[in-house]
Amino acid sequence: MDIRIQNLEPDCFYHIYNRGVNGDKVFQESDNYMFFMAQFLKYLSNVCDLYAYCLMPNHFHFLIKIKSQEELVIFFEAKNKRSNNKGLHSIESISSKQLSKFISSYTQAYNKVFERHGPLFESPFKRKKIDSEQYLMNVIVYIHQNPIDIKKDFKSYKFSSYSTVLSSLKTNLKRGEVIEYFDNLENFIFCHTKIIDFKF
């Protein structure tokens, strides 16, 4: 099935990831990373919850959980005058549509700042449905370990949710739920000592 017509299902976890066109950079400076996360919250906080993320110079990873059908309906009806919209404008497509809006908004702003034109990311964005708790835990660790690929210490990498899980500062990340999946913070840290390598 074409990935573009695979709807993101309510109450399901997804690993969302994508890279720059031709592997090009999508973040040039710190402000880009910050703006990207701000746009994520702006466009996606009503349709999903964030469990893990890592922003790399030329790609990104998110672990999200799509909100319940009831929550999606409330958001959808607040944005749409008609409830019988079809295709890309249907309630079933609302999460994918918001993700596309998020990517588009960042691309437009990035292109304006760096005086470029055209797509910034590959299309469509990649998604993998999480089908088990062990897979979920492995994805969280894998996402956090991404900076190893660019010879960075993932424990101190600024643009990842690893340090956010360890912190007590206010966050939009589902920190408590993430720690619960690992039973406790000590096991969360321990599980990150084992290298997870996924082949996509």
pLDDT value of residue 83: 56
* Structural domain harbouring 178: 9-191
The predicted-structure confidence for 108-156, as pLDDT tens digits, reads as follows 999 999 999 999 999 899 999 999 999 999 999 999 999 999 999 999 9
How much of the chain, in percent, has pLDDT values that exceed 70?
A: 92
Q: Is residue 136 part of a domain?
A: yes
Q: Is residue 199 part of a domain?
A: no
pLDDT value of residue 3: 44
pTM of the model: 0.92
pLDDT value of residue 7: 86
CATH number of the domain encompassing residue 137? 3.30.70.1290
The predicted-structure confidence for 19-75, as pLDDT tens digits, reads as follows 999 999 999 999 999 999 999 999 999 999 999 999 999 999 999 999 999 999 999
Q: Is residue 129 part of a domain?
A: yes
What distances in angstroms separate CA 184 from CA 46, 94, 157, 179, 189, one per listed residue? 28, 34, 22, 5, 9
Q: Is residue 1 part of a domain?
A: no
Q: Is residue 130 part of a domain?
A: yes
- Distance, CA of 22 to CA of 8 (rounded, Å): 26
Give the chain's domain count: 1
pLDDT value of residue 80: 76
Residue 82 sits at the vertex; the CA angle it makes with 78 and 86, to the nearest 5 degrees, is 110
Nearest-CA neighbor of 18 among 138, 131, 104?
Answer: 104
Q: Is residue 3 part of a domain?
A: no
The predicted-structure confidence for 67-103, as pLDDT tens digits, reads as follows 999 999 999 998 876 555 555 567 889 999 999 999 9
Q: Is residue 198 part of a domain?
A: no
Q: Is residue 64 part of a domain?
A: yes
| 122 three-class SS | coil
Residue 1 has pLDDT above 60, yes or no: no
pLDDT band at 5 (very low <50, low <70, confident <90, very high): low
Residue 165 has pLDDT above 60, yes or no: yes
Residue 199 has pLDDT above 90, yes or no: no
- Distance, CA of 72 to CA of 7 (rounded, Å): 13
